[in-house]
């Protein structure tokens, strides 16, 4: 459905996107994650033909995103990152304008989606709250029943209840064979709908993996308190153990399931006063692997090795 | 009014165009109201003849006789006020066409529909053309109707010819603004450059009889195409219409090409 092949985009001397390649299949929801400024919006606007790639190609259903953007737009619904609307037009007028430009009559479908999202289509766009503007952008994107939805942080500003409705709209879309590219800066937003995630940082795609693989590598948070002082080096050699912290008599770390046995044996070789082991939320696992906080060196190298692992 | 980019653009300009139309009708009414007192004072023509030649070239068309309706309107309206009004509208509309929509960040929304960039440029251009011709028509109709009330009698066909040339003058500079807007997305630049060039073109045409260099390049000035043949007396000059139309066609082609090859500001 979507194919990016070595897409690079430079703005002057600044490289916003550096050799990004990925594919999204039919019926698939692809979560595109990265901190702000990592290149998510640049990727999406390249795919929408708003930007011309410096090198590489982006295509949708075999159509070139830049040269055949008009044909691409026929089959794509798009929610821009900061949805700008025509201030003086109401929701219904937006629907009418876009439907005319698409030579379709989408009024009924638009009204249906708006009702599900609890959006009043009769108010002028300038009076809408951020969340309602976002909803209108979603209505405009899905009303033409496109094959591909390209969503740039579509749920920021939308409350959780409406997010659930939005997720069910996405599921109906994929059930009919449609695909979704869904960007976000937090995993939590895409966790429940994404099949695969890609992580972009500093303009590079540093990892792509199936969400269920990530879940399988989910980490356990381990804390132990010993009768006497322990040294960090004693535990450092364990494969897979991350975020190791030893302070006096206490140890804390995150460990994948595969490392638990070895870790437990090392721990139990000493006199233990207290022990705690719990599964971490997926978000935490994700942050530990891909450190979205732009902390720099360690997070980057961790993500780099994980990307090789995933690739 | 939302069936195409063209209609939507005209709809957006609705109130603005109405305000312009009312203003133009009022300006013409002012000139008409002053006419009886001008007519009864033939010394005004003498006053103009006593002006330094450079002044006379700049602010009046040299051979105009202020005591005739045609001469009066030519000096008062066609030499200065009319072009300024039409140029301000056309240049603003051209400059805002592409860049304005990018400034308001709505271009992503518009272009995410299956509308080609060329189509957007052409529709925005047509809206500017219709607006400019509409305003020129309002000015022409006002002249004939309001003039007839105060014995300022002008031949309607000649007025129509003058307004055709005036509208073309506006569209030439409006198309230049559109081309800059489409190629750069910068509204300020697209407004400023045509405005400065319009002033230069005006000066070149007006001072051509006095300055050798200007005389040699006078014919490239759109003001020459507009007024040099004296449309209020001579009617339409088809060669001038052709030159203006060709200029406009080239500028629109450049606008389409310019917008097709660049990144859209998000």
Residues of A in contact with B112 (CB under 8 A): 48, 73, 76-78, 80
Bigger pLDDT: B154 vs A185: B154
Give the lowest-confidence range in A107-121, A213-227, A297-311: A297-311
pLDDT at A297 over 80: no
Asked if A84 lies within 8 A of B108 by C-beta distance, the reply is yes
| DSSP bridge partners of A225 | A250, A274
DSSP state of B152: -
Tokens coding A77: 């619904």
Q: How far is CA B25 from the centre of its chain?
A: 16
Determine the pLDDT at residue A121: 95
As given in the structure block, the two tokens for residue B121 are 């440029």
Most confident of the ranges A147-151, A222-226, B210-214? A147-151
pLDDT-derived band at B22, boundaries 50, 70, 90: very high
Res A294: pLDDT: 44
Contacts of A137 (CB under 8 A, 6+ apart): A79, A80, A83, A85, A154, B109
Q: How far apart are CA A164 and CA A151, in angstroms?
A: 16
- For residue A291, the model assigns a pLDDT of 66
What does the DSSP 8-state code read for residue A199?
A: E
| Calpha distance A181→A149 (Å, rounded) | 6
Give the tens place of pLDDT for each residue, A38-97. Answer: 899 999 999 999 999 999 999 999 999 999 999 999 999 999 988 889 999 999 999 999
The helices-and-strands tally (H runs, E runs) of chain A is: 12, 14
Residue B63 main-chain phi, psi, to 5 deg: -90, 5
User: In which band, very low, low, confident or very high, does the pLDDT at A175 lie, cut at 50, 70 and 90?
Assistant: very high
pLDDT digits (tens, 9 = 90+) for B44-71: 667 767 777 777 777 655 566 777 888 8
Contact A181, A150 (CB under 8 A): yes
Lowest mean pLDDT among A35-44, A203-212, A214-223, B169-178: A214-223
Q: How confident is the model at residue A186 (pLDDT cuts 50, 70, 90)?
A: confident
Q: CB contact, 8 Å: B3 with chain A?
A: yes
Residues in chain B: 266
What was the pLDDT predicted at B27?
A: 92
Report the gap between the CA of B191 and the closest CA in chain A (Å): 22
DSSP 3-state of A70:
helix
Q: What residues of chain A lie within 8 A of the CB of B108, using their CB?
A: 45, 48, 50, 78, 80, 84
Contacts of B115 in chain A (CB under 8 A): 70, 73, 101
Which residues in chain A touch residue B3, judged by CB atoms under 8 angstroms apart?
Answer: 100
A172 to chain B, closest Cα gap in Å: 22
pLDDT of amino acid B42: 66
Structural contact between residues A4 and A22, judged by C-beta atoms closer than 8 angstroms:
yes
C-alpha span between B110 and B118 (Å, rounded): 13
pLDDT score of A305: 39
pLDDT band at A309 (very low <50, low <70, confident <90, very high): very low
Return left, alpha or beta for B176; rule: phi > 0 is left, psi -120 to 50 is alpha, else beta.
alpha
| pLDDT single digits (tens) A222-267 | 899 999 888 888 888 888 888 888 888 999 988 888 888 888 888 9
Q: Shortest CB distance from A70 goes to which of B116, B262, B264?
A: B116
Q: Look at residue A295 in the predicted model and tell me its pLDDT.
A: 42
For residue B191, pLDDT beyond 70: yes
b/e for B134-161, b at 16 or more Cβ within 10 A?
Answer: bbbbbbbbbbbebbeebebebeeebbbb
Q: What percent of chain B has pLDDT over 90?
A: 67
> Taking the model in full, what pTM does it have?
0.86
Query: By percentage, how much of chain A surpasses pLDDT 70?
Result: 93
B264 contact A CB<8A? yes
Question: What does the mean pLDDT of chain B come to?
Answer: 90
The span from the CA of B88 to the CA of B192, in Å, is 11
Query: What phi and psi, each to the nearest 5 degrees, are found at residue B149?
Result: -75, -25
Q: Residue A248's pLDDT is what?
A: 87
3-class DSSP assignment, residue B108? helix
Mean pLDDT, rounded, of chain A: 87
In the prediction, which pLDDT does B96 show? Answer: 93
pLDDT at B208: 86
The b-or-e profile of A110-119 (16+ CB within 10 A means b, else e) is bbebbeebeb
Percent of chain B with pLDDT over 70: 95
pLDDT at A192: 83
Q: What is the pLDDT of residues A92-120, one digit of tens each?
A: 999 999 999 999 999 999 999 999 999 99
Residue A308 tokens read as: 């090789």
Confidence band of B250 (pLDDT split at 50, 70, 90): very high
pLDDT tens column, B128-143: 999 999 999 999 999 9
pLDDT of residue B206: 87
Which residues of chain A make contact with B109, given a CB cutoff of 8 A? Answer: 80, 83-86, 98, 137, 140
Using the Cβ of B105 and the Cβ atoms of chain A, whether some distance falls under 8 Å is answered with yes
Facing A73 at nearest CB: one of B8, B104, B113: B113
Pairing of the two strands A219-226 and A179-184:
unpaired
Helix H, strand E, coil C: the string for B117-129 is HHHHHHHHHHHHH
**pLDDT surpasses 50 at A306:** no
Q: Is A149 helix (H, G, I), strand (E, B) or coil?
A: strand
């Amino acid at each position: 459905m979507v194919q990016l092949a070595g897409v690079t985009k430079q703005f002057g001397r600044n490289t916003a996107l550096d050799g990004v390649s990925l594919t999204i299949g039919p019926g698939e929801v692809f979560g595109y994650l990265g901190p702000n400024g990592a290149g998510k919006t640049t990727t999406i606007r390249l795919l929408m033909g708003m930007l011309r790639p410096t090198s590489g190609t982006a295509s949708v259903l075999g159509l070139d995103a830049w040269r055949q953007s008009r044909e691409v737009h026929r089959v794509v619904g798009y929610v821009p990152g900061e949805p700008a609307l025509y201030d003086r037009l109401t929701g219904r007028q937006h629907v009418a304008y876009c439907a005319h430009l698409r030579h379709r009559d989408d009024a009924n479908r638009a009204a249906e989606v708006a009702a599900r999202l609890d959006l009043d289509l009769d108010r002028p766009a300038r009076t809408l709250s951020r969340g309602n503007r976002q909803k209108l952008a979603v209505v405009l994107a899905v009303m033409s029943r496109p094959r591909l939805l390209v969503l740039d942080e579509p749920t920021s500003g939308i409350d959780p209840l409406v997010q659930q409705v939005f997720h069910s709209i996405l599921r109906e879309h994929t059930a009919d064979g449609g695909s979704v590219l869904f960007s976000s800066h937090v995993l939590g937003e895409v966790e429940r709908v994404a099949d695969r995630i890609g992580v972009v940082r500093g303009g590079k795609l540093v990892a792509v993996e199936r969400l269920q693989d990530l879940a399988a590598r989910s980490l356990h948070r381990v804390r132990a308190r010993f009768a006497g002082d322990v040294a960090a080096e004693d535990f450092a050699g364990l494969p897979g153990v991350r975020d190791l912290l030893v302070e006096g008599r206490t140890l804390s770390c995150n460990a994948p399931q595969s490392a638990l046995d070895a870790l437990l044996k090392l721990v139990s070789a000493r006199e233990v006063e207290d022990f705690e082991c719990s599964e971490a939320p997926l978000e935490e696992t994700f942050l530990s692997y891909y450190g979205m906080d732009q902390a720099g060196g360690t997070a980057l190298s961790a993500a780099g090795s994980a990307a090789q692992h995933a690739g | 009014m939302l069936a195409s980019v063209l209609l939507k653009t005209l709809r957006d300009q609705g109130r603005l165009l109405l305000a312009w139309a009312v203003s133009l009708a009022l300006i013409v009414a002012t000139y008409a109201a002053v006419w009886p007192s001008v007519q009864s004072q033939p010394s005004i023509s003498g006053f103009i003849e006593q002006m330094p030649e450079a002044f006379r070239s700049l602010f009046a068309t040299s051979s105009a006789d202020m005591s005739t309706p045609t001469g009066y309107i030519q000096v008062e309206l066609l030499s200065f006020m009319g072009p300024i009004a039409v140029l301000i509208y056309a240049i603003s509309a051209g400059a805002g066409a592409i860049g304005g929509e990018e400034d308001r960040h709505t271009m992503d929304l518009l272009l995410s529909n299956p509308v080609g960039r060329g189509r957007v440029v052409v529709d925005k251009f047509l809206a500017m053309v219709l607006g400019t011709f509409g305003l020129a028509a309002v000015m022409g109709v006002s002249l004939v109707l309001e003039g007839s009330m105060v014995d300022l009698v002008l031949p309607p066909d000649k007025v129509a010819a003058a307004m055709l040339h005036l509208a073309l003058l506006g569209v030439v500079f409006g198309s230049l603004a559109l081309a800059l807007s489409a190629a750069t997305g910068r509204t300020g630049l697209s407004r400023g450059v045509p405005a400065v060039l319009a002033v230069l073109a005006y000066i070149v045409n007006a001072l051509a009889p006095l300055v050798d260099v200007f005389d040699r390049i006078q014919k490239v000035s759109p003001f020459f195409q507009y007024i040099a043949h004296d449309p209020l007396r001579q009617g339409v000059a088809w060669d001038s219409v052709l030159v203006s139309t060709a200029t406009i066609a080239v500028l629109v082609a450049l606008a389409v090409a310019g917008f097709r090859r660049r990144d859209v500001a998000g």
